Amino acid sequence: MHISRPAEFHIVCSPDAIPIIQSKLGLFSRPAYSVSVKYYPISEDSIRDRAHRAGVASKHAAGYGGLVKTFLHEVLHDVRRVIYLDTDMLFLVDPYLLWRDFERYWTQSRDFMVAFPTLGERSTSDVVCTCIMLLDLEQMRKHFFMPSTSFPADAVTLGNNKTWARAEIDPDDPEFGDQGLYFAIWKRYGRRMFRDLSISWDMTHCRYSYGLSLADGDDSMGETEHISKQIFMREGKVYDRWYQLYPALLHFNCQPNNDIVWDDPVNSERPRWGPFVTIARQYKWVWLNRGDGTATVRTETIKERPFWDELTFKEGFPRSSP
């Protein structure tokens, strides 16, 4: 709804999700900017096998489907960079405002690999969030983000038993699934390879959107008063330069498990952000046909996608360049 330039979507999902998503995309044929959609159907058994090669597991409610987030660089092994976001989030602004941060972070560190929301260096595993991330997949492959028994014996991986132990993370049952593993790697390598996203990109229900709301009823509120209403931050770092947050991405997490989070009246009827949920639910896909016919929507299904560790290495020797 908000993109201002051509976009690519890489959808890693279970096979049964594809026809559901495609039925919506089929209504959308004349975009303002060209859209490319690639589906990567993947089975839970395949993810479990890759996790086994890494020596990790998960008992989180998201299961192994959630754990695949730690291996996105290996599923999308011919992609350089992506914005990752969870399925219970809504963009309220042009995603390019987030994408442009890649260049900013890269100029700060040539080893930049991951940016996600934190509340500063003292953050615990429950306040960092792998719900929205800038991922330099190329760098993640270069630095062997997760271990594998397929890698050469002398390969130095970022994730390993020492990394998990330092962060007191159990690799067989990491807190919050994939988030616990990302957290452990961030704790060890954060200053060099990670950057903090503004929490504007994670207006999380867990912390009551940090006090931001549509329901304050005052569109003339000054910045000083607005900042004073930003709460539940644990005195964490708010932003690199400006202290005022804005609602960039709404995150409807920390709620009872629902089949479809958007259909829960607590989200659509609550004054804080309910109107935005209603707009997203009731917006018509055919209204996205606002182009002049020169841009296209292209979809493709990538079948039998091997993980990068087995594609690239066999018996400890590279078969192709990473």
Query: Is-contact 322 312, C-beta < 8 A?
Result: yes
Please give the Cα distance from 255 to 61 (Å, whole number): 13
Quickly state the pLDDT bin for 139 (edges 50, 70, 90).
very high
Q: Any alpha helices (H) in 238-305, and if so which ranges?
A: 265-268, 274-282
Phi, psi of 133 (to 5 degrees): -145, 145
Share of the chain above pLDDT 90, in %: 69
Which of 102, 116, 142 shows the shortest CA–CA distance to 199?
A: 116
DSSP state of 122: T
Is the pLDDT at 142 greater than 50? The verdict is yes
**Domain edges within the chain:** 7-318
What is the CATH code of the structural domain delimited by 7-318? 3.90.550
pTM of the complete model beyond 0.85: yes
Is the pLDDT at 96 greater than 50? The verdict is yes
Which of 73, 65, 71 shows the shortest CA–CA distance to 53?
A: 71
127 or 322, which is more confident: 127
